[in-house]
Structure 1
Amino acid sequence: MNALDDPQAWLQAQPTSDPVSRRVLEGLARRAARQPQGALRERLVTRLVERAQAHAATPATAQPAPASAGPLAELTARLQADAGPELRTVQLHRRTWSALRLTRRMAEVSAPVPDHLGPLNSQVLVSRALQQLKDLSPDYLQRLLTQLDTLAALAPLQATAEPEKPARAARPAARKPVPRKR
């Protein structure tokens, strides 16, 4: 069976024990199969064959996780053992996106604050604090903004997870005190 004719069928015939590598190769095979005959398809098929052979040639160095740990622990162990070029690329892109997000957030915060708010307004104080934090420790500022983004994303989930408290029963009208006779 020729990989150029039908990349997906060729890949199905190849043995792959790693499920993550298998998914990557399947995606590449699907992409190659969608391309019409030509130079792009040939390059994709060549890359598919090279990667499939590289994965078949590398022995599994990761020790499988205990059976009681579950499939997620096994997948994590394999990913940590085989941090291939794809994962390195993901890490590089994550750093780039984090830096871009930090720049965008700082632009939002650095927007001019109206003068009429006064020096003790919370918006003015937060803006000044974040500017100083950016100058002193940009890494810490990035971690702080990441944590704040995470908390903001979790806030709606917390609101839906908390059951509503029953409304208080209406209290009977208070009686007016009876004046005492002296």
Structure 2
Amino acid sequence: MKVTPTAIPDVLVIEPKVFGDARGFFYESFNQQAFNEATGTNHQFVQDNHSRSAKGVLRGLHYQIQQPQGKLVRVVRGAVFDVAVDIRKSSPTFGQWVGIELTEDNQKQLWVPPGFAHGFVVTSETADFLYKTTDYYAPEYERCIAWNDPAIGIQWPIDLLPSLSAKDQQGLALRDAETF
């Protein structure tokens, strides 16, 4: 596997070694030991999640203020623009974001450590999005930062108003949100 730091060094792009030929492809999508060695971390994953969304659906920016989750995310069908926002007050990159296109074809994964808000928008007709988490979902601790907070300035690659859940429509500005 190839691991590349992003502009926020704790957020990592992971590219598995893909073996392909005319029949198709094979790759190991996750191996705990290889992940820990390649990332220099020692996180254990406890939950796998799968979402399917239509074009223009934007989910996020989500995080848990207690039981913070690290997320290893990937797309197995379609394409998304995936974003991580550093919400660790003591970090030199607090309030900054990184984004990457994840597709079924590029097979890239993104490691989003605890202490980051996370979101994505679907850029294909539909997308199946898979993610592993380092802690269990705890709705009482879930928080949401507004996807369009001008203080963060995420440049979403869409030219329409995204489709948001009721919860995501209530997202707070970073300055008003609970952070780490």
Q: State TM-score, norm by structure 2.
A: 0.17
User: Greater share of helix residues, 1 or 2?
Assistant: 1
The structure having more radius of gyration, on CA atoms, is 1
Give the structure, 1 or 2, with the largest relative contact order (CA under 8 Å, sep 6 or more). 2
User: Greater share of strand residues, 1 or 2?
Assistant: 2
